[in-house]
Structure 1
Amino acid sequence: MIKVSLAPSARLMRRISVGAALSAGIMMLAQTPAEAAKTTLSLGMSVEPAGLDPTIAAPVAIGQVTWQNIFEGLVSIDETGKVQPQLAKSWEISPDGLTYTFKLQTGVKFHDGEAFDSSAAKFALDRARGKDSVNPQKRFFASIASIDAPNAETLVLHLSNPTGSLIYWLGWPASVMVGPKSADNDKTTPVGTGPFKFSTWAKGDHVELVKNADYWNRDGAAKLDKVTFRFINDPQAQAAALKSGDLDAFPEFAAPELMSSFDGDARLATKVGNTELKVVAGMNNARKPFDDKRVRQALMMAIDRQTVIDGAWSGLGTTIGSHYTPNDPGYQDMTGVLPYNVEKAKALLAEAGYPSGFTFTIKSPQMAYAPRSAQVMQAMLAEIGVTMNIEPTEFPAKWVKDVMTGRDYDMTIVAHAEPMDIDIYSRDPYYFNYKNPAFNELMKKVQETTDPAEQAKIYGEAQKILAEDVPALYLFVMPKLGVWDKKLRGLWENEPIPSNVLRNVSWEE
């Protein structure tokens, strides 16, 4: 009889099992990253939008939440300011500039399942250009005489006159494609074709977007699963939320004086990019003494633009001499046309009949840059005998009522956010009350060509007229001040159009 002992074998098996388990655990630890990449983002904004449909209201905060996230256009504008195909994959313009034929993407659906095709595109553009349209950029579509949709993939625009900026304008938030069935509710529950879908809006606190799992462009699908836009208007609170980690990013940080407080922060990075925000002090050109070009020129020569930037925006900004930024095609530096010169300013005032100066009031919106700029200007104008009283003005309601609509003001100060909006000086009516047939002719001429080189040349001539005529005091371009986690990738550092484009944003693993 053979005696078999089981104990040693059982002990051995237990040792083997424990050893195998430990080895497997070690291998699993080695293969698992210390921290998986995040798929959520908490992003701060200073201003909460009043609605979420950029095709019915002008405030830039609407587009900063929805443009290129929820809503898309026939074309888009990239970070360099160039037009790129989007829901239209290509287009042709007839030799006379009066017919635009778009070939549309196929298989595109709105977030509610409704198909996007040429009939939906026709609906969106007819809504934007119609008699009852409240589109904030309705003028973009004024030259569209009729629209055809001969098949699902083809959209044809027939124009009444050439409009060289049309393709660029079609990339704006105001030109996004909206669905025939959902458009009426887009203000509160927006439905688009973009890489993110609207989830919730807690008024006064945040808007939440989630990834669109059925996004038509697989190569451009969102990398984030959820984005929360949090609205915090106090700069100190913005900084505190960033430093505590409650916010991952604040792409448009509102306090330049606090930027240095992030120096040396192990987690956060600061970015200084460019924008289209042109800070100008507009004058009522129909009211004395601003109806005299010599007076306007004298005021411009009394202002040291760099000192305004230093006092108003902690030295962060770019001086300008016309209503045009260095990012724009055909930009020319016009700051030397009427440079800072107190003695020449005094002489011009005397020539215009104001040897002892005069007194006027500037209506200053409550945004930080405006009163700060006004206070610096006030001290400078005093040096040429001009007294400027500062009247705080609530923005937007009272400012729009008094200045934009009523044109009841002497001078005001505001940052114009619209890209390439030099044509505002040819709009009638507009709050400057500026009338110059030669300038108007240039704005007409620039639309008669789609040749970028020719357009740039015309814009150069327009800048020269404004720099010499000075319908507004041209001060500076505000920078894009960003603060965000160093592991974040894909946020735009520059802002050719007010936005928070998130399709390419991701966390470094």
Structure 2
Amino acid sequence: MKKKLISILLATAMVASCVACGKSDDSKKSDSTEKKASSEQTLVFNLGSQPSSYNPDVSLDDSTTMMSQNVFSGLLTMNNNEEIIPDLAESWDVSDDGLTYTFKLHKGVKWHDGEDFTSADVKFTYEKIMESEGFLASALSAVDSMECPDDNTFVIKIKEANAAFVSNLAWYGSAILPQHLYDTDEDWTKVEAATSKPIGTGPFKFVESKDGSSITLEKNEDYFGGEPKLDKVVYTIVQDPDTAYESFMNGEIDYLQNVPSSHVKELQDNSDYNVGCLSAGRRYQMCFNMKGNDTGKLAFRQAIAKGINREEISKKGTAGLQKVAYGFYPPFLEWAYNDKADIGDTDVDGAVKLLEDAGYTKDADGYYLHLNLEVFNYGNYEDCAKVIKSQLKEIGIDVTVNPLEEGAWGEKVSSGDYDLCMLAGFQGPDPDNLSTRVGTDGAMNVSAYSNTKVDELLTQAKSLTDQDERGKLYKEVQQILSEDLPLVPLVEYAGYYAAPSNISGIPFIDTDVNDIAPYNFCKIEMK
């Protein structure tokens, strides 16, 4: 399994948003009045954990990724509609043979410490990622050469046509780093810029961090995208979503992520709040440890799949807000989605028969086996896991649900010391994302799944330019996954965000704000 395991649930995922509205009580109106009266605009946003690093190209937990979009910039990025848009690059051209990419960069960009940003920083970053095996290293293996004709031009030549190349440059782990701070012999996770003083070109500058409590940023008046309207951004670290919700309702948090399912409707019905929804292209999945003594057996995985009732998980685990996930790739890219590859209907008797035919017998407690299920301690993961626990009990399997903070989850799963785990994360913008999840040694292949045919199909699909032909190969991959079952699809993701109606410019809520990354706060204004 790849040593740098990542959890990408919400972070830099760029998606279509849905908007609803909602009324606050008088205490909240009072808080809002006090903020409007203040000459300094400070936005408080909740994170579920302390960022594991300030180097966003090596640590891609959700908290690191969310914060990094305000401190760093990429060559390209994606907006809340999953569209690739310029960032440090003003524009780019691709040669007729699809092998040469020429990027024109913004002029006059400066790092937060006043040093000039140039094309050399881009070249250095990509070389550093490859050298240090960052998340983007696999995608950058397609590169044949990189050149900097001048300070504002960057040229990449790739070895062969690659339909997913540009989308990878706009995806996770692609922040451009300052060469003058990272060009050392020191491990890139241990330089000062990665541990305590991140320097980027983004809309906000790092001020301070109170470990486990808060992170403060101040606006970058020289931001190439325009001076931010906010003066400060404070990330408050609150692990429990219900506690975060109470803080939001008390006016202590201005912009809330992970609104608990039980409170979504009341906020949508309250005109003093605006609510946005992060959805398409991501889903909850339960992954098997393919190297486990029991979870590594196909018959056992088939039994688990038959014991799962996704409709019940949706209803009881998410209050019906997260719909059933069918198939082995989200349906948001219809041309790549195989609607015929699925796990089938719930069949408790069939599941029990599979277990007994495989030689399992019940112990004194009436169980064939006892398993652990590792889940994140936020969102609806734990609620869904409790439903799964109840369902698998019906087929004679005892499940212990272990809710963990992201860092602890990553360590547990990457060590291989687990039975089952749940994760989500954006699976676009290109179906080549499957390579990271089910390709041998893929960075998010938490199951440690390996199938030579799958690897061959994924490699072939990436090299094609005809969408229909690519789609056929991805559909074949999904059919194989439905037979091998390294994972089980559960429910489509739906994460809700909320803010008082006096706050505007939030991409997930104001869906017309689509020319920046979704966690870039440069256009947020508190009126």
Q: Is the pair's TM-score, using the shorter chain for normalization, greater than 0.5?
A: yes
Measured after TM superposition, the shift of residue 145 of structure 1 is 3.7
Letter in 2 for 1:54: P
RMSD: 3.2
* RCO comparison, higher one (Cα < 8 Å, 6+): 2
Identify which range, 426-435 or 48-57, moves more after superposition: 426-435
Measured after TM superposition, the shift of residue 83 of structure 1 is 0.7
1:51 aligns with one of 29, 50, 53: 53
- What per-residue deviation string (whole Å, max 9, x for no partner) do you get for residues 330-374 of structure 1? 344468551223344445556655597831412324625444333
| Residues 456 and 251 (structure 1), Cα distance of their counterparts in 2 relative to 1, 3 Å cut | farther
Measured after TM superposition, the shift of residue 251 of structure 1 is 2.7
Match in the other structure for 1:440: 455
Whether the 8 Å CA contact 2:306–2:343 is kept in 1: the answer is no
Measured after TM superposition, the shift of residue 310 of structure 1 is 2.7
Secondary structure, aligned partner of 1:186? helix
**Alignment of structure 1 residues 178-189 onto 2, 5 Å:** 178-183=177-182, 184-187=191-194, 188-189=196-197
Whether the 8 Å CA contact 2:77–2:517 is kept in 1: the answer is no
Whether the 8 Å CA contact 1:334–1:463 is kept in 2: the answer is no
| Residues 96 and 292 (structure 1), Cα distance of their counterparts in 2 relative to 1, 3 Å cut | farther
1:235 aligns with one of 234, 241, 247: 241
The reply to whether residue 147 of structure 1 matches residue 146 of structure 2 is yes
2:203 aligns with one of 188, 195, 207: 195
Q: TM-score, normalised by structure 1?
A: 0.81
Whether the 8 Å CA contact 1:480–1:493 is kept in 2: the answer is no
Question: Quick one: distance in 1 between partners of 2:48 and 2:404?
Answer: 16
The reply to whether residue 388 of structure 1 matches residue 398 of structure 2 is yes
| Residues 456 and 222 (structure 1), Cα distance of their counterparts in 2 relative to 1, 3 Å cut | farther
Letter in 2 for 1:361: L
Letter in 2 for 1:459: Y
| Residues 414 and 124 (structure 1), Cα distance of their counterparts in 2 relative to 1, 3 Å cut | same
Task: Give the fraction of aligned pairs with identical amino acids, expressed as a percent.
Answer: 24
Letter in 2 for 1:478: Y
| Residues 62 and 459 (structure 1), Cα distance of their counterparts in 2 relative to 1, 3 Å cut | same
Whether the 8 Å CA contact 1:269–1:483 is kept in 2: the answer is yes
Question: Quick one: distance in 2 between partners of 1:323 and 1:118?
Answer: 39
Q: Which runs of 5+ in 2 are unaligned?
A: 1-35, 183-190
| Residues 391 and 230 (structure 1), Cα distance of their counterparts in 2 relative to 1, 3 Å cut | closer
Secondary structure, aligned partner of 2:180? coil
Question: Quick one: distance in 1 between partners of 2:325 and 2:276?
Answer: 21
Count the aligned residue pairs.
466
| Residues 487 and 102 (structure 1), Cα distance of their counterparts in 2 relative to 1, 3 Å cut | same
The reply to whether residue 71 of structure 1 matches residue 77 of structure 2 is no
Measured after TM superposition, the shift of residue 72 of structure 1 is 1.0
| Residues 185 and 160 (structure 1), Cα distance of their counterparts in 2 relative to 1, 3 Å cut | farther
Measured after TM superposition, the shift of residue 175 of structure 1 is 0.9
Whether the 8 Å CA contact 2:104–2:153 is kept in 1: the answer is yes
Measured after TM superposition, the shift of residue 77 of structure 1 is 0.4
Question: Quick one: distance in 2 between partners of 1:66 and 1:397?
Answer: 17
Whether the 8 Å CA contact 1:165–1:450 is kept in 2: the answer is no
Match in the other structure for 1:118: 119
Measured after TM superposition, the shift of residue 284 of structure 1 is 2.6
2:434 aligns with one of 422, 429, 440: 422
Question: Quick one: distance in 2 between partners of 1:215 and 1:272?
Answer: 28
Question: Quick one: distance in 2 between partners of 1:115 and 1:442?
Answer: 43
Measured after TM superposition, the shift of residue 102 of structure 1 is 2.1
Question: Quick one: distance in 2 between partners of 1:488 and 1:35?
Answer: 14
The reply to whether residue 484 of structure 1 matches residue 496 of structure 2 is no
Match in the other structure for 1:317: 322
- What per-residue deviation string (whole Å, max 9, x for no partner) do you get for residues 175-225 of structure 1? 11111123443322222222222233233322222222222234xx42322
Whether the 8 Å CA contact 2:386–2:401 is kept in 1: the answer is no
Q: Which runs of 5+ in 1 are unaligned?
A: 1-33
| Residues 458 and 321 (structure 1), Cα distance of their counterparts in 2 relative to 1, 3 Å cut | same
- What per-residue deviation string (whole Å, max 9, x for no partner) do you get for residues 96-150 of structure 1? 54433322222222222222222121111111111xx152443232222432212
Measured after TM superposition, the shift of residue 169 of structure 1 is 1.4
Measured after TM superposition, the shift of residue 304 of structure 1 is 0.9
Match in the other structure for 2:286: 281
Q: TM-score, normalised by structure 2?
A: 0.78
Whether the 8 Å CA contact 2:438–2:449 is kept in 1: the answer is yes
Measured after TM superposition, the shift of residue 288 of structure 1 is 4.7
**Alignment of structure 1 residues 216-295 onto 2, 5 Å:** 216-218=224-226, 221-253=227-259, 255-260=260-265, 262=267, 265=270, 267-274=272-279, 277-295=282-300
